[in-house]
Amino acid sequence: MNYWLFKTEPDAFSIDDLKNAPQQTTLWEGVRNYQARNFMRDDIKLGDLIFIYHSSCKQVGVVGIATVTKEAYPDPTQFDLHSDYYDAKATPDKPRWFVVDVTYKSHLKNRVSLKDIKANEAITELALKKAGRLSVMPVTKNEWEQIIAMSN
Q: What is the pLDDT of residue 132?
A: 64
What range does the domain containing 114 cover? 3-151
User: How far is it, in rounded angstroms, from Cα 31 to Cα 134?
Assistant: 10
Q: What is the pLDDT of residue 129?
A: 80
Segment 15-28, tens digit of pLDDT: 999 999 999 999 99
φ, ψ (nearest 5 deg) of residue 3: -125, 145
Ordered DSSP codes for 95-127: ---EEEEEEEEEEEEEEEEHHHHHH-TT--S-H
Question: Residue 43 pLDDT more than 80?
Answer: yes
CATH number at residue 113: 3.10.590.10
Q: What is the pTM of this model?
A: 0.95
Segment 64-113, tens digit of pLDDT: 999 999 999 999 999 999 999 999 999 999 999 999 999 999 999 999 99
Closest CA to 43 of 78, 72, 65, 74: 72
Q: Where are the alpha helices (DSSP H) in the chain?
A: 15-20, 34-38, 114-119, 127-130, 141-151
Domain count, the chain: 1
